[in-house]
Structure 1
């Protein structure tokens, strides 16, 4: 990111965008929302006969994170809209946000690396174009990346620019926001889906969607990072790209939904079996990064479902399942090759607090055989590396209660219990207690 981009854009927008209109006038920037999220999380001590540089700290840890966001939009002619989001992250995750496939604080994905600093940055900046296909319309309220007004429910849609891939793919009503729902990475996204992103979770690319009655189809192509978990994106899609396509089946707008996703990444990646072979031949620890070469492929599939049960959909079930080939290195999101999760949300209307929720979920993560053998020989990924591995599925249980004492403020006590942290039977279990405060306007 160019260092002057954020201050100039922010000062321009703040001088003209203090609008709360019900419609979106052309060419006038509007403030669409703001948020602040604070997470205080404590990791208890855990059984640890050995540890590596990427392990959970055996003596426990306490960490706090803060994220700030300002969100703007501009209506343009010819059904175009321009969106710009400015964010800032401060703090860190417990154990340096390493040691797990399913990390415990989803907001630390915005932290980037130490060299990125803790100053404001441009998170999103993209154009959106829609073409109505006839039929009913729906009224949109002002919200993050959503200008107010009328929009056709049957439409063709295009986005171009800087954005987050998971803004449009793998969405779920009950498990889709780390700031208001589940905090564990494996519960707000499908962690076997290694979607294109820089260290902070954003990338540049193109998304196209066809939305019709009862179904929608989305396709996206985006720039991959130059190296695993890197902030630098490749200069050209011809060099490296992440592609995904997703079919959503939802006969009723407020009813059950199933989403089927497939992805294919081309990037400068290493191959686990090659890194292992080199290590065995040289007597050294395997190093997946030393095996990086352009044009390597990673692909996978995911399914995502939600089932409203009662309370106008405020009480319901969700599930996710995902698989990737696990041959090439985990490159972007986290180190998970197979995942299965499911959970339940209960509306507070049953105890006289309709804006509150209680939710609980279970996730099981796994690694491919090549990936687990690499870690067992002492290899490091970008979030895993205990120096050795007695493999077992990583098992995550999370429960939270979201409480709204006043409008715009949500407080969420959160508990997480993880067996076989980092897929290692020799370590753990790991226990986490957290408190999240979220303010949104």
Structure 2
């Protein structure tokens, strides 16, 4: 309520000062899974019978435009609540608004604080932006952008018009992002670094150098030269196929290379007398590299996406989630079809897998930071998700959500799991 009152005052001020853009959101998600088959469980298993778990986030999006082509973005945020089974047991975790943070009380922190400078390129067109992290101004269409500070790397990379925002679209981790990209971030999903981008007509290219967590899925970030650093490059081409204003295809292709004080699965197996421990094998300079690709198809009121990703899977997962291969596809249907202009219905499926080294480690009784049942009868983790986003009134969206998970944590002996949720999202 305090956040809402503050936002009303700030938004009133925003109407006077065109250099300042202020938005606010709050998202509440109660989630529950029905009891499922579980002949055994380990320290990181999904618990077969538990109560409803609820997540809450509230965020201010503040963008200040002090000089021509200069932007300062500041996002204070508070998040609280708990995920199902302490956010453990499913690699494609079912709630993109929850983190592996133990304190259920809302904790304030700075999500983003960065400065961006844009440099015009020839052949400019101009557009009006309404993005919450950009001041409402007439902006350059063709430009080079350099920004530095704290942000989520997925603000700029790995985007999709259909499946990217868990506050309005699919909730599952492996649908909101490329599951096999172990993208550099702290436990809340943010990092610090530099991003450079170039926009020219339908082409976009991005590169980033960022910090990585000091510990797997840890709170603290570090940058240690070539031994601890995250890097990524992405190429985007809009209108690869275009047959009208609302019929077009956009494509993104990205490569990533991260280095950190990672453990190695094979070394952990060789050293183990009983259960292998990947933590005991950690040294600086180990790497995780891979690739991802996204295709967004716009068919008027029907949107379709395909997303695939891969990493080598030799060393331990360090930041995002324990997925080494992932393929996802799905559709979103705009409410215009049934005369509900601001509603949306989505359905998607994703198949997640592990490298041979990773699955052997878990089968021998090893644990990652997210999954581990003490043993493993391996199978791909298969997930179907469906949601309906109902625009109750101008700023409130209520979304029932259902997910069906086969082989949670890649274990054929456990599950399947039926998960239901209802998302309340309010934005100004």
**Would you say the 8 A contact 2:226–2:259 is kept in 1?**
no
DSSP 3-state at the match of 1:58: coil
Choose which of 379, 393, 397 in structure 1 pairs with 2:384: 397
Instruction: Give the match for residue 9 of structure 1.
Output: none
CA distance, structure 2, for counterparts of residue 276 and residue 43 of structure 1:
34
CA distance, structure 2, for counterparts of residue 325 and residue 116 of structure 1:
35
Instruction: Give the match for residue 276 of structure 1.
Output: 269
- Within a 5 Å distance, the mapping from 1:105-120 to structure 2 comes to 105-109=95-99, 112-114=100-102, 118-120=106-108
Per-residue Cα deviation, 1:111-133 (whole angstroms, up to 9, x for no partner): x5226963211110000111111
Shift of 1:18: 4.8
DSSP 3-state at the match of 1:107: coil
Q: Does 1:307 find its partner at 2:308?
A: no
Q: Does 1:228 find its partner at 2:216?
A: yes
Q: Does 1:159 find its partner at 2:147?
A: yes
Q: Does 1:435 find its partner at 2:425?
A: no
Choose which of 401, 408, 411 in structure 2 pairs with 1:421: 408
Structure-1-length-normalised TM-score:
0.91
Choose which of 22, 28, 31 in structure 2 pairs with 1:32: 22
**Would you say the 8 A contact 2:56–2:80 is kept in 1?**
yes
**How many residues of Structure 1 are paired with residues of Structure 2 in the alignment?**
417
Deviates more, 1:90-99 or 1:413-422: 90-99
Q: Does 1:195 find its partner at 2:183?
A: yes
Shift of 1:420: 0.5
CA distance, structure 2, for counterparts of residue 159 and residue 121 of structure 1:
21
Change (3 A) 1:150 1:237: farther
Shift of 1:73: 1.7
Shift of 1:386: 0.3
Instruction: Give the match for residue 145 of structure 1.
Output: 133
Instruction: Give the match for residue 266 of structure 1.
Output: 259
Shift of 1:377: 0.7
**Would you say the 8 A contact 1:223–1:237 is kept in 2?**
no
DSSP 3-state at the match of 1:383: coil
CA distance, structure 1, for counterparts of residue 67 and residue 24 of structure 2:
26
CA distance, structure 2, for counterparts of residue 247 and residue 360 of structure 1:
27
CA distance, structure 2, for counterparts of residue 124 and residue 59 of structure 1:
37
Instruction: Give the match for residue 8 of structure 1.
Output: none
What are the ranges of 5 or more consecutive residues in structure 2 without an aligned counterpart?
Answer: 1-5
Instruction: Give the match for residue 362 of structure 2.
Output: 375
**Would you say the 8 A contact 1:19–1:31 is kept in 2?**
no
Q: CA RMSD in A?
A: 1.9
- Within a 5 Å distance, the mapping from 1:235-274 to structure 2 comes to 235-251=223-239, 255-274=248-267
Per-residue Cα deviation, 1:6-56 (whole angstroms, up to 9, x for no partner): xxxxxx99997752338743xxxx352000001011111110110011101
Change (3 A) 1:202 1:14: farther
Q: Does 1:44 find its partner at 2:34?
A: yes
**Would you say the 8 A contact 2:44–2:373 is kept in 1?**
yes
Instruction: Give the match for residue 21 of structure 1.
Output: 15
What are the ranges of 5 or more consecutive residues in structure 1 without an aligned counterpart?
Answer: 1-11
Change (3 A) 1:35 1:374: same
CA distance, structure 2, for counterparts of residue 249 and residue 104 of structure 1:
30
DSSP 3-state at the match of 2:337: helix
Instruction: Give the match for residue 6 of structure 1.
Output: none
Shift of 1:235: 4.6
Instruction: Give the match for residue 289 of structure 1.
Output: 279
Instruction: Give the match for residue 331 of structure 1.
Output: 318
Per-residue Cα deviation, 1:207-245 (whole angstroms, up to 9, x for no partner): 001111111100001000011000111154454111000
Shift of 1:203: 0.6
Deviates more, 1:178-187 or 1:131-140: 131-140
**Would you say the 8 A contact 2:351–2:382 is kept in 1?**
yes
Q: Does 1:85 find its partner at 2:78?
A: no
Structure-2-length-normalised TM-score:
0.94
**Would you say the 8 A contact 2:249–2:298 is kept in 1?**
yes
Shift of 1:271: 0.7
Change (3 A) 1:50 1:246: same
Choose which of 136, 150, 158 in structure 1 pairs with 2:125: 136
Deviates more, 1:148-157 or 1:365-374: 148-157
